[in-house]
Each structure stands twice: as C-alpha cells, then as structure tokens.
Amino acid sequence: MPSIRRNPQITLSEGTYEQLLRHIGARHRSAYIESLIIDHLMIGDTKRTFMALAMSEKTATGLPFCSRGQVWSIADKSPLVVVSAEMADQALDRVQVVPLVEPAMRAEGARVSVTVGLRRYDAAPDQLSTIPRSSLRELHGVLSTVDMGALEAALRTEFDLWAN
C-alpha cells in the first residue's frame, strides 16, 4: 500500500528536538517517529498474536523460527539482532547475530543507533558472531526498515563487502 504523506504538527521541547536531530538526523526523523508510533498502534491481540506466532513457530529442525532483523535475547545477555540470510536461518541450526549494547557517548568500533520498542541501543557490527539457534530465548521485536538498512550498510563497511 503506498504511503500517504500527511503533515501533522507535533510539539517537542527544544532539548528533545535537538537530541532527535543529533541522534537520528533530519532525513530520518519522520521514519524514526513512525517506527515508534507503529509499535504503540500494534496493540492488544494483534501484537500478542505476532509475538506468540514468532515464538511458537518451529522450523523443520524443531528450532525457533527467526528472521533477519528480529531482536532476540539469550539467557541473561544483551539483546541480539539476527543478520543472517533468511534461507540460512531456517535450514541451519545457527544464526549470525550482532549484539545490541547500551548507547555510549564514545564507543569503540563501529556503532549504529537502533530502536527496539521504546529503547535505544547501539548495534555493534564489529562484534558479529554465530550462535546456535537453540539458544534464542525471547523475541523482543523487529528493527525498522531504516534501522536494518543502516545496520546492513555498517556490516558492508566493516567487512569491506561493497559491490563493484
């Protein structure tokens, strides 16, 4: 469905607006605000059904269903975003993940700011790892298209995977 452009007026404090521009940027502020709002509009039965479906679905191997962009936790660790290819996720018993860490004023290595629900995290593409799919415990949500695109670009840069 094509999106219809609307220009609603919202009121933000000066400090909040400055933070929005600093962390998200002028070009991505509308997509960011929309990603926050859509999570709150997907309420009640719709959201519970989505989460239950993702948690209960099993693949042919009997392991949890997961897909690129989903944010999972394992044990008591920080959340992880799945970045491996969809086909590989379902066929293999392992997934490639990037950890999400608390935002830092000055971080070591490449960092991409992402939102999961109402929480901001820094994705750490330089810490890409492979884990057993059986270790996935709780689904927290899915990255927005904008956030996933930024993470994919950071991964391409980190591993020098730019196409000629």
N residues, the chain: 164
Sequence-ordered strand ranges (E) for the chain: 70-73, 80-82, 94-101, 112-116, 119-123, 129-132, 138-142
Pick the CATH number of 14-158 from 2.30.30.110, 3.20.20.140, 3.40.50.11750, 2.60.40.10: 2.30.30.110
pLDDT band at residue 159, thresholds of 50, 70 and 90?
confident
Does residue 1 surpass a pLDDT of 50? no
Q: Report the pLDDT value the prediction gives residue 124, as an integer from 0 to 100.
A: 92
Q: What is the pLDDT of residues 128-138, one digit of tens each?
A: 999 998 888 88
Decide: helix, strand or coil at residue 47.
helix
What number of CA atoms fall less than 13 Å from residue 154's CA on the CB side?
21
Q: What pLDDT score does 67 carry?
A: 81
pLDDT digits (tens, 9 = 90+) for 22-75: 777 777 777 667 666 665 555 555 555 555 555 555 555 566 677 888 899 988
According to DSSP H, which parts of 1-144 are helical?
14-23, 29-41, 44-56, 86-91
Largest CA distance in the chain: 52
Mean pLDDT of 80-87: 83
The answer for 114, left when phi > 0, alpha when psi is -120 to 50, beta otherwise, is beta
